Amino acid sequence: MTSENEAGNEAGEAADGRSPGDARDAGADGTRDATPDGTPEPAPDARRDSAAGAAGDAEAGDSDDAADTGEAGAAADAGTAPAAESGGEAAADPGVWDVVVIGAGPAGASAAYAAAGQGRSVLLLERSELPRYKTCGGGIIGLSREALPDGVELPLRDRVNTVTFTMRGRLGRTRRSRRTLFGLVNRAELDARLAEAAQRAGARLRTGVTVARVEQHGPDVPDRRTVAVHLADGEKVLARAVVGADGSAGRTSSHVGVELEQVDLGLEAEIPVPPEVADDWRGRVLIDWGPLPGSYGWVFPKGDTLTVGVISARGDGAATKRYLEEFTARLGLAGFEPSLSSGHLTRCRAHNSPLSRGRVVVCGDAAGLLEPWTREGISYALRSGRLAGEWAVRIAEAQDAVDARRQALNYAFAVKAGLGVEMAVGRRLLAAFERHPAVFHAVLTGFRPAWHMFAKVTQGTTTLGEIVRMHPVAHRTLTLLDRKGALSGSR
């Protein structure tokens, strides 16, 4: 059991946004290159998927990847298909696992890596077979790169040093950086590498399994130190702690009672293009401030494929779909057949939403952790996943409910002190952007210090929260926009 002094130390660490394993990060700034590192790999076989109903299905909110029929089919069959297992001798079934992680995306794999790295028995459950497609722009900013497990090489498809900004297709302005701003990956390749890192650390990976429910009390739970994870095929898995990383529509988010205040619909198409078109986009992305409040579109080049997408507030799927169609046509890409079209709902947590319940903690999308303005989620998944894995080890060690609660609160403090502060600034930026998109466009394209700040955020040398806190002009400008919003809202 953790002593009161130790608990006080942990609470102090958490208040600083640190995890119990932050000694490992003391030299992190010197161990990773300033430029994303990795070599491109051949693309996985392209899959065909119907675009029909993508917006309507995702709007319905049935799943995080409502239009990804390949993954949905895998999930539906998971109760009858045999589960694939992999892991070393250290991952032999212990009967009761120290930590079970549900979901093998960036958050779950990061959590499994962190917990297994401390020598604990860890089971990583994933409903699909890996690799599998995920609707995601695949932008890897500096914070994501720094949060990667040791030894993971990014499967980069491109490195971006040029950004073109447009306002509803007009007022185009291109900015360039001498250094790489961020990298671009396919999520299928990234997630597979992260899962492999967790396995190398000692976690066992089981794919093709669906979690039906999580229980902490009742006849299936042998004692108050154990959590029962029920699978769709009737199997029961026991653990001392559970990390939920199964998406915002997953079982663990519901079990913990995560509250959401912002839901957005993203639509995306993977468009193969001929070499001459791919060459025009190499190293350059396009960001278009859209016609719907808070909306924007993007073009991310990934070798011989362009990822083209838009995102806006949930509620009018037809308008969002129309924005994507018009955006694609305006770019001259409507004549190319997408290899895949999909829809995705992103969900952002309310400020006081819980991050744990008993011995279950949630991270990444399952916790509603993402940047509210840009909806960037990979860095939030990797960082919250690592924190969840490290604090889950402490929860697993807890001998009673009081100690387990203490460790869960420490995890919540760590998330709120770091990611929570960034999200609070992101909410303010989104509110201001919804009212004044033209101002954002003018500042980013015409005010050089604003571009430099954008570059620093993408490169990982600062965050939006630090900029607002440390730069008086940024602080005053956002405060002024806040007041204008409050005044307009009171009329």
Mean pLDDT computed over 66-83: 37
Mean pLDDT of the chain: 85
Q: What percent of the chain has pLDDT over 90?
A: 75
82 has pLDDT over 70: no
Window from 4-13, 151-160, 169-178, 386-395 with minimum mean pLDDT: 4-13
Pick 24 or 330 by higher pLDDT. Answer: 330
Using only the alpha carbons of the chain, give its radius of gyration: 22
For residue 20, the model assigns a pLDDT of 58
Mean pLDDT computed over 250-267: 96
Alpha carbons 465 and 422: distance in angstroms, whole number: 5
| Contact (Cβ atoms closer than 8 angstroms) between residue 102 and residue 380 | no
Residue 124 burial by Cβ neighbours in a 10 Å radius (0-12, 13-18, 19+): buried
CATH number given to 4-423: 3.50.50.60
Instruction: Provide the whole-model pTM.
Output: 0.83
- Closest-CA residue to 300 (of 326, 263, 331, 276): 331
Window from 18-22, 376-380, 436-440 with minimum mean pLDDT: 18-22
Alpha carbons 84 and 103: distance in angstroms, whole number: 14
For residue 36, the model assigns a pLDDT of 35
Residue-range domain boundaries for the chain? 4-423, 424-490
For residue 92, the model assigns a pLDDT of 60
Tokens read off for 130: 């890996």
444 has pLDDT over 50: yes
Label residue 465 by pLDDT band (50, 70, 90): confident
CA distances from residue 90 to 116, 120, 134 in whole angstroms, order as listed: 9, 9, 30
Window from 61-70, 355-364, 443-452 with minimum mean pLDDT: 61-70
